[in-house]
Chain A
Amino acid sequence: MSKIEDEIRGIAKKLLEEGKVKYFTGYAKGPDSFRARPIIIDDPKDVDKLIWSPCCVNNLGVYLVDEMKKKPKRGEEPDTRPVGIVTKACDARGITVLHQENILPKERVYVIGIPCRGMADPEKLEKHARKKGLGHDAIYNMDIKEEKMMFTGEAEGVKVAFPREEVLLDKCKECVHHNPREYDIVIGKRIENPHVDKYATIRELEDMSLEEREKFWEMIFERCIRCNACKEVCPMCYCEECTVEKAKPMRWCSKSADKSNNEFFHLIRAMHLVGRCIDCGECERVCPMAIPLRKLYRKMAKEAEKLYSYEAGLNPEEDPVFATFRVDDDDEFE
């Protein structure tokens, strides 16, 4: 069992026992070796279910938005104690954006920040294990070995190693913010931020011609089945009623899942994520149709940084990028 896991459990236990938090959101063992899943616990007795492993990929911030949307029953005093939550560096930036946008007051959340060098892609783990002749549930005790730059697990009492570079999630390879900035408590040592190309995923597209890009996206947008998983797992998509689902006073986007309407949906979502997307990569991970959504949102992030020197989730005091302007902003409109 890793040290970080112990500490998470200890903190959660203390917080719950003292009644300092309403409940605690963390990760638990998932349906197979390579998937962790979110868990919400109220009882300090349950803290042993909490884990910390390279499979903790979910962004739990989405549950904070749920919490803020809850309406107390009539006549009931609302419980405004904070919610405890385990966050990786990217998830913590998401919470900063929620603070910035006045969706989540700081006193309503207790953030455990964990410096993170990246999490493992469950599919890559599975492939890697299969090569070693190990099935989806053969491995247990997955752990992160920081100093050796690898993930480890055990199968039938034997240690199994996964080289980090081979199984890392794509978004983690491009991450330059390994340390959470806003937190109530931090577990683990600070990690030196790497110098990598954070926009690597869109370079290839940027080099294409207009026609090539149009062709690239055409097939992809056609494939979308509009299951809405991308927006439901996104902590930034917190609208009570999404503009693409709204039918009153007019329907902006038809329910018809054709290329035109799918593209409308994805581009509107991309516009709504400018300067807000913290690149947790959840949308792309959950998409059943393998739509490379990060290639849209990363482009938006790049433009926001290039034009307005703005990066999402770094400074809670700053105004959101579209909620402000500078008189001498770049003007290409004449």
Chain B
Amino acid sequence: MIRREMLPLFGSLLLTVFSACAQTTLTIATVNNGDMIVMQRLAKQFEQQHPEIRLDWVILEEKILREKTTTDAAAHGGQFDIVTIGPLEAPIWGRRGWLLPLEDKLSSSYDLNDLLRPMRDGASDSGHLYALPFYGESSMTYYRKDLFRRAGLTMPLQPTYDDISRFAQKLNDPAHDLSGICLRGKPGWGENMGYISTVANTFGGRWFDESWRPQFDSPEWHAAVSYYVDLLQKYGPPGSSSNGFNESLTLFENGRCAMWIDATVAAGSLSNAKQSKVASTVGYASAPIATTPRGSQWLWFWALGIPSSSKHPEAALKFIEWATSKEYIQLVAQTNGWETVPPGTRESTYKQLQYLDAAPFAGLTYRSIMAADPLHPTEKPVPYTGVQCIVIPSFPTIGNQVGQLIAAALVGNMSVDEALHKAQLATERVERRAGLLHQ
């Protein structure tokens, strides 16, 4: 028989069981990078503020995450309540009805107008916002101030590609294991093509004309790719065709590159003395330009969206509002320091003096992001949006193919002419199959 004194104990136990049953579990699919891991750690505070919501995390490498979330969103599998997506997915998935539009659902306290305009544009389609940016980046030029000083060179705030090849020539010193320049060479739409697209843009090129005809046979693409191949072959590190972001970061951090043009996110690692041997001598400048500044810096973000198959959209909205809010940025600053806050999403972040002090590259990051315009990425008119990441479903296929051909030209397996001719034919084939090109 149950003793009378035991009843409150059973009562509280039952209450706990019932409240656990009433809890909403959100499954969040996100990418494995430093900012997301911080979010996962700090999300315990969100769970404390919202005891009715429990968070389950699925953290994966970018490529696997993309395959998994695309399968689930397309099949309306409902495995995820929140997905982490980039500028390629947000507008396309939104247009297809795979994501919930957010602009009318956000609470009044969420400062939507504080989001950086290029990020907001990149996550929108036809006036609907489909994801809230959590982290954003552009590209910039990193250089070794000590080497420049010794060689009597000065890096302008806005270098041109002529400056870059002149500096690379002067500073290249293979005898001392120092390359004049490091750039991405590993083939892939998010690897070498991320950078090469910005070179093509600033040389006046574009991926497609208004009738979706590929432009690899244009003089602009020829000039851009010839420049890139020539620069890396003459002044790049050995084995450039296998260098992506991580490999180039390691080379620069270990003092093996005089210059590097890549993502603004690298600035944090390069200036961290625990990780980088060149922390005290690294300098920052804008991404170089050639004939036009348009499209010379890339634009990338990770944003949080809610699939239309989510079982708990209201709770999911609460979480993504929290994770992309000004208050979250303050929370990261208080917990881990200002230099670790997720960059590139909010105007208010760049008005914080503590942040500008802690991150000397912050001003340049902000200017680079604001200068990138995904809606008008090139000098000549184009039928697409996106600076280096063209927002069409076939872009990963095209980007990977073209990336492989340019990497083949880089290692000398074919000429630039041959690579671009093959790129033109391959892209035309894909576009015809996709129904974009009709001749």
Is the A/B pair a real complex?
Answer: no
